Amino acid sequence: MEIDEMDSLFEGMVLFTPSQFAADDPKSESESESSVTPVAAGPTTSEALDENLFSDLTLQTHTLDRDQPSPSTTPTSLTNTKPKVSRKKKRASALRIGYARDYPRLPDDEDPDPDPDEDDTAATIHDASANSTFVALNHTADTIHDASANSTSVALNHTADTIHDASANSTSVALNHTADTIHDASANSTSADTIHDDNFNPHQQFEQLKTLISEKLKRARESAASISSARKDSIQKRRKAADHLHSASFRHSQLQKQLDDACEAEDFEAAQRISDDLAAAENHNHALLLALREAEAHCDAIDSELHNVLQSQIAAEQECASLLDTFSAEAANDADVLLKKTEALSSEEMERWVSSTEALEGKKIQVEIESHLVNEARGVLNNSIEHSIEDDLREKDFLCKKKDDLTDELQKLLALVREKEKEIAENDSKIQVVEQRISDVVSGFQEFQSSIDQNYDKLQSGLSQLDLEIEALSMKKKEIDEFFNEEADKAAKLKELAKVSSSEAQAYQDIVGLRRSLMSSILKSREDKARLAKNEEKLSEDVQMLQQEVSAARASLQELSSTKSSIQQNIASFKQRIFFIDKRAPELEAEKKVAAAARNFKEAARIAAEAKSLSLEKDSIQSEMEKSILELQKLEDDIKDTINRLQETEGLILSKEKEVAMARFQRLLITAGAATAERSAALELGDLEEANLLLTEAEAADIEAKKLQPLYDFKEEDLENLPKHFISMELVANSDRKQLAELAASINLSAA
């Protein structure tokens, strides 16, 4: 609805609050008393006449008090409130319709202690007028006559009181009667339960029966559990006896094979020893066989005992079932008796309920008649309202037509504006096209110019780089020339120094040659000894490292074997699962076809989803299995490599140990020869104590070398690199030219 239409409809309406309304009461009271004689002054009974039509409207009327009123006790009563008389324009009494949701409802002096049931039933009637704000329609007051307003007010008020009283009384009677009925039924039911509990307590009997059954079954289960535990022990012993017998049989077969091998090898001593072991193994097998038979007999005896216990348990369970059947029959009989009593009581209470329902139906008919009277009064009120707003409706129609004319004129102006805007837009688009062409031409020249500038910059940069390279080459040539001159000067100085050194060293050439010849032999022996010692130490470390590698390789081999076993198990499980999926897939396909043929599409969809899931699972398993197979192949290669490496390492250890022994053997021989030569020099120099010490050292080295010789079949003749002659360094240092020449002659050396 338009705003101007709203103004025309509600023109003349006056909005006022409860505070203003209450404030006007003292002033209007004297005026209203002089103009209108009240039937009675008392509390108001503003009722909502129709919850659907007047849910937010409150009708203010004069009501008759059923008791003697007291005007002084309710100065703010709504029943005494009259429309405020304007000094400028006299108005007749009017029907006041307004919103009064926030205005508090005054207490009823005549009924200080209302019935609770009555208040609950009539709550919906009083809530509509309990808290509201009043709006007076003063504009329509002149069109409504005092007589019709007063008659309508009296009729509505009387009808509301009638509805209130009838509803309250009928509801109160119905509720009280229903409460009494429920109370009586509860009392009777409680009494019946008490009598039943006194004469028969099924719960207690059932609990006692359950306790008895539980005890019987508990004893039977305990016996069965005890026998089962003993049976498990006997089976375990039998399994152990069988395993021992199997192990002994395997040992017996191994001994038999060893005996056959020994006989074929004609190793009769070993055959005799193996034969004795075989006889002992046969006796042991016989004893283990007897133990196995004894364990089996014990298992059979325990099985018999377990059978007897199970028979006893079955008998106990049959007895329990019989007891439960008897109790069930008795309980069913008692339940039938109780049901009959309950049905009789329920029938009696149903009759009472029917009578109460009939009474309520009568009250309902009375209320419907009174509601019809209220509806007629509402029609009179609606006719009065329509008559009051006829002028406003005509004014509204005129304004609507005027609005339509103005709207048509506005649409024509808007159409003309849109045409001009369209022409401006077309002109702007043409301007943009021309500007774009200008921009394209300018950008084309800019790109060409920037390309030329870039090429020029590149050429200038290249020229600068060439200049720098030429300058660097010039500096390099200068450095080369300076270096050549410096090296030439150094060479000249060295030549001069060489000539001086040659002339000075010529005098010592003969002695140095002799000593060098003698020392070369001594140094060679020492170098050989140090080399052999170092080689021995290094080889020993290599042997230790190889032994550690062997230990690590064996641990790795064990770990690889364990991993291989695990992977093989996984592959086996994968194959088993794939076999199951391959077997299950056709079955699912057939089931899907059957479900689809039966139009069970939900089941078909589920089967299809399951088939798809199995297919995805198969692909995943195949992928995992391929990975496992590749990993297994790699693992087998690793195991093979580890075994080969282990064998190679073990062979290398043996070779290294032999090399260590060879190095030690050679070192010991050199030590013995050098000690013997030193002892000879000490004797020659007269140092007997040193000679004795050197003799002891030589003998110890010789003894140790002889110990190694048979172990590895070493021969001194095969050691060609060992020195044949040993010279004392002390003797070479203390000898003169003649002695040095004699020593050199003795070992066939010449001065270098």
CA atoms within a 13 Å half-sphere pointing along the CA-CB vector of 733: 6
In this model, does residue 456 exceed pLDDT 80?
no
pLDDT score recorded for residue 448: 59
Q: Is residue 54 part of a domain?
A: yes
- Asked if residue 247 and residue 133 are part of one domain, the reply reads no
Of the ranges 360-374, 439-453, 455-469, 553-567, which one carries the lowest mean pLDDT score? 439-453
- Asked if residue 319 and residue 353 are part of one domain, the reply reads yes
**Integer Cα distance of 666 and 658 in angstroms:** 12
Residue 723 Cα distances to 492, 534, 663, 717, angstroms: 45, 18, 15, 12
Of 383, 399, 418, at which residue does a domain stop?
383
In this model, does residue 68 exceed pLDDT 70?
no
**Integer Cα distance of 662 and 685 in angstroms:** 34
From 220, 232, 216, 218, select the one nearest 303 (Cα to Cα): 232
Q: Is residue 272 part of a domain?
A: yes
C-alpha gyration radius of the chain? 66
CB 241 within 8 A of CB 291: yes
- Asked if residue 260 and residue 158 are part of one domain, the reply reads no
Q: Is residue 349 part of a domain?
A: yes
Query: What are 28's two structure tokens?
Result: 């209007």
Amino acid sitting at position 475: M
Question: Which of 181-190, 301-310, 388-397, 668-677 ranks highest by mean pLDDT?
Answer: 668-677
CB 507 within 8 A of CB 645: no
Task: Give φ, ψ of 525 to 5 degrees.
Answer: -60, -45
Residue 301 Cα distances to 44, 170, 495, angstroms: 103, 87, 116
User: What does the H/E/C string look like for 316-327?
Assistant: HHHHHHHHHHHH
Which whole number is the average pLDDT over 168-185?
Answer: 41
Residue 289 — very low, low, confident or very high, per pLDDT cuts 50/70/90?
confident
Q: Which residues pair with 132 in a beta bridge?
A: 100, 102
Task: Give φ, ψ of 4 to 5 degrees.
Answer: -65, -30
- Asked if residue 303 and residue 158 are part of one domain, the reply reads no
**Integer Cα distance of 743 and 65 in angstroms:** 166
Burial label, 304 (beta-carbon count in 10 A; 0-12, 13-18, 19+) = exposed
pLDDT score recorded for residue 318: 67
**Integer Cα distance of 727 and 724 in angstroms:** 10
CA atoms within a 13 Å half-sphere pointing along the CA-CB vector of 413: 6
pLDDT score recorded for residue 129: 37
Is pLDDT larger for residue 623 or for residue 314? 623
Largest CA distance in the chain: 178
- Asked if residue 238 and residue 106 are part of one domain, the reply reads no
Q: Is residue 743 part of a domain?
A: no
Query: What are 665's two structure tokens?
Result: 């053997």
CB 88 within 8 A of CB 129: no
- Asked if residue 210 and residue 163 are part of one domain, the reply reads no
- Asked if residue 213 and residue 169 are part of one domain, the reply reads no
- Asked if residue 36 and residue 147 are part of one domain, the reply reads yes
Q: Is residue 517 part of a domain?
A: no
CATH number at residue 291: 1.10.287
Q: Is residue 261 part of a domain?
A: yes
Q: Residue 681: count other Cβ atoms within 10 Å of its Cβ.
A: 21
Query: What are 742's two structure tokens?
Result: 């004699």
From 138, 148, 144, 127, select the one nearest 54 (Cα to Cα): 127
What angle do the packed helices 509-597 and 737-746 form, to 10 degrees? 50
**First and final CA of the chain: distance in angstroms?**
138
Task: Give φ, ψ of 686 to 5 degrees.
Answer: 85, 20
Query: What burial letters (b/e) apply to 163-199, b meaning 16+ CB within 10 Å?
Result: bbebbbebbbebbebeeebeeeeeeeeeeeeeeeeee
CB 123 within 8 A of CB 171: no
Q: Is residue 226 part of a domain?
A: yes
Query: What are 743's two structure tokens?
Result: 């020593």
Which whole number is the average pLDDT over 126-135?
Answer: 37
Tell the residue number behind the tokens 């470390």, with chain if given: 541
Of 142, 177, 212, at which residue does a domain stop?
177
SS3 672: helix
Mean pLDDT (the chain) is 66
Task: Give φ, ψ of 649 to 5 degrees.
Answer: -65, -40
**Integer Cα distance of 166 and 364 in angstroms:** 9
Is pLDDT larger for residue 740 or for residue 157? 740
Query: What burial letters (b/e) apply to 247-277, b meaning 16+ CB within 10 Å?
Result: ebeeebeebeebbeebeeeeeeeebeebbee
Residue 58 DSSP one-character state: E
Query: Angle at CA 126, nearest 5°, toward 122 and 131?
Result: 155
Note the residue count of the chain: 752
Amino acid sitting at position 346: S
Considering the entire predicted model, what is its pTM? 0.30
Residue 316 — very low, low, confident or very high, per pLDDT cuts 50/70/90?
low
SS3 267: coil
Query: What are 547's two structure tokens?
Result: 């032994």
- Asked if residue 7 and residue 111 are part of one domain, the reply reads yes
Q: Is 111 left (phi over 0), alpha (psi -120 to 50) or beta?
A: beta
- Asked if residue 338 and residue 212 are part of one domain, the reply reads yes
Share of the chain above pLDDT 70, in %: 53
- Asked if residue 311 and residue 244 are part of one domain, the reply reads yes
- As for how many domains the chain has, the answer is 2
Tell the residue number behind the tokens 């899907």, with chain if given: 592
Burial label, 133 (beta-carbon count in 10 A; 0-12, 13-18, 19+) = middle
Query: Angle at CA 193, nearest 5°, toward 191 and 196?
Result: 110
The residue segments making up the domain with residue 221 are 202-383
CB 719 within 8 A of CB 528: no
Q: Residue 215: count other Cβ atoms within 10 Å of its Cβ.
A: 11
Q: To the nearest 5 percent, what fractions of the chain are helix, strand and coil?
A: 80, 0, 15
Query: What are 296's two structure tokens?
Result: 């089996």
- Asked if residue 361 and residue 215 are part of one domain, the reply reads yes
SS3 15: strand
CA atoms within a 13 Å half-sphere pointing along the CA-CB vector of 42: 14
Kindly report, residue by residue over 347-406, the tens digit of the pLDDT: 777 777 777 777 777 667 777 676 767 667 666 666 766 676 777 777 777 888 888 888
Kindly report, residue by residue over 661-718, the tens digit of the pLDDT: 888 888 888 878 877 887 887 787 777 876 777 787 778 778 878 888 888 878 777 7
| Helix (H), strand (E) at residue 275 | helix 268-388
Q: Is residue 162 part of a domain?
A: yes
Beta strands in 552-628 (DSSP E): none
What angle do the packed helices 146-199 and 123-130 form, to 10 degrees? 140
Residue 258 — very low, low, confident or very high, per pLDDT cuts 50/70/90?
confident
Query: What are 697's two structure tokens?
Result: 């050292």
**Integer Cα distance of 281 and 694 in angstroms:** 62
In this model, does residue 412 exceed pLDDT 80?
yes
What angle do the packed helices 268-388 and 146-199 form, to 10 degrees? 150
Of 327, 361, 383, at which residue does a domain stop?
383
SS3 135: strand
Which whole number is the average pLDDT over 419-428?
Answer: 82
